[in-house]
Amino acid sequence: MDIISQRFSSVKPSLTKAMTQRATTLQGQGCDIITLSQGEPDFPTPVSICEAGIEAICAGNTKYTAVAGIEPLREAIIEKFSRDNGLNFSTDQVSVGCGAKQVLFNALMVSLNPGDEVIFPTPCWVSYPDMIHLAGGIPVPVSCPPSTGFKITPDLLEAAITNKTKWLMLNSPSNPTGAVYSRAELGALADVLRKHPDVWVLCDDIYEKLVYGDVEFTTLAQIAPDLGDRILTVNGVSKAYAMTGWRVGYGAGPAHLIKAMNTLQGQTTSHTSSISQYAALEALRGSQDFIKAFQSTYQSRRDLVVDRLNRVEGMSCHRPDGAFYVFPDCSGLMNKQTPQGKLIKTDSDLTMYLLEEAGVATVPGSGFLASPFIRISYATSTTDLESACDRIIAACHLLK
Ligand code: PLP
């Protein structure tokens, strides 16, 4: 009898992690690989935040904490929501977990009955379908083409809702497309949601701080306060403060949902690291100045990558408003032949070719339920980005 459960057997390893792992293995074998597959800032965690972690250790804050997170951190999260998003929460409406990832998973686990449907626009973050599936729900991907800016429209949403729909998951700015929903777009989705009082909304705002130019970040709970009793707003410190390894994310929403999520967390991980919680407290309460510096660096890197990739015949790259990814359409490169005589039939074939021929690790769009695209992270040094783009241009030029 197989030890692996049926529930688990269809869960796939994260494709982004798999590609990065493959690149690391090749690097270990001495290959010259530039990794553009990772979804994390290349900047170090700011020193003041690291120092807060060290102080927590020295002060003996190294024991179990409250399951929902230490009180001062939950208060800092409440202040953040009020300051940045005009949202008001109390401490029993906030749960801190091991990254936004765990908070999202906790929410799905405590709310989904077998057969409940969860709508999410695609291209989507690789983990949504597997998380939904693991929690017993049915993933309902809604294909959102470049013509909609990769965003779900009111019509697409209306058409996807059934009497089994439990959640709509919205991710803005989006991984992998960088799409950011405007006030008007969120307002139009809110109008649809008002007609369906049983549908809840999970807003994954993890890339909130990474929007560029005049683009303004807004979140659904801010646009539609009347829907607040069925919105869970999720955020975290990983992307904004370059703290991916510290594992701190948080969610805020209706107290009875948060209570259930805390109960689940209490029976699984208990809470995230006490040390990380003190570091996250400093991140949220300390100076926010370096975020501006991160933003301007990312913006110039985005422009560099978009401009260069658009020189590749067969690739078409939009200029995303947020996050740190570009998601070029690679239709024009399909069915071309490599110098080794291999046909590029899918975006997976293309990423494999780019890895082997150009030494550049990217992620196939299929992992984000959209083909033929590839995802390129520009959260890496400008020198590496320049060189990676040049290599991609040269490798694609060889395709016939
Ligand atoms: N949501 C999206 C869309 C992401 O891209 C990620 C990380 O890549 C997360 C959530 C999870 O972030 P973390 O668990 O590090 O807070």
What digits encode the pLDDT tens for the residues 40-58? Answer: 999 999 999 999 999 999 9
Mean pLDDT on 111-131: 96
- Write down the pLDDT at residue 239: 97
User: What mean pLDDT value characterizes the chain?
Assistant: 96
Mean pLDDT on 384-392: 97
pLDDT band at residue 14 under the 50/70/90 scheme: confident
- Tens of pLDDT, residues 304-330: 999 999 999 999 999 999 999 999 999
Mean pLDDT on 331-350: 96
pLDDT band at residue 6 under the 50/70/90 scheme: confident
**What is the whole-number distance in angstroms between the Cα of residue 15 and the centre of ligand 1?**
14
Which of 37, 131, 239 gets mutated to test ligand 1 (max ligand atoms within 8 A of its CB)? 239
- Write down the pLDDT at residue 16: 78
Q: Does 22 score more than 90 pLDDT?
A: no
Atom of ligand 1 nearest to the CA of 236: 16
- Write down the pLDDT at residue 1: 75
Atom of ligand 1 nearest to the CA of 249: 16
Which of 17, 125, 209, 272 gets mutated to test ligand 1 (max ligand atoms within 8 A of its CB)? 125
Atom of ligand 1 nearest to the CA of 171: 3
- Tens of pLDDT, residues 250-279: 999 999 999 999 999 999 999 999 999 999
- Residues touching ligand 1 (Cβ under 6 Å) are 39, 99-101, 125, 171, 175, 204, 206, 236, 238, 244, 249
Which of 120, 206, 208, 244 gets mutated to test ligand 1 (max ligand atoms within 8 A of its CB)? 206
- Write down the pLDDT at residue 181: 98
Decide which of 19 and 89 is more confident.
89
Pairing label, strands 200-204, 117-122: unpaired
Shortest-distance Cα residue to atom 8 of ligand 1: 39
CB 103 within 8 A of CB 112: no
**What is the whole-number distance in angstroms between the Cα of residue 101 and the centre of ligand 1?**
6
**What is the whole-number distance in angstroms between the Cα of residue 213 and the centre of ligand 1?**
23
**What is the whole-number distance in angstroms between the Cα of residue 195 and the centre of ligand 1?**
30
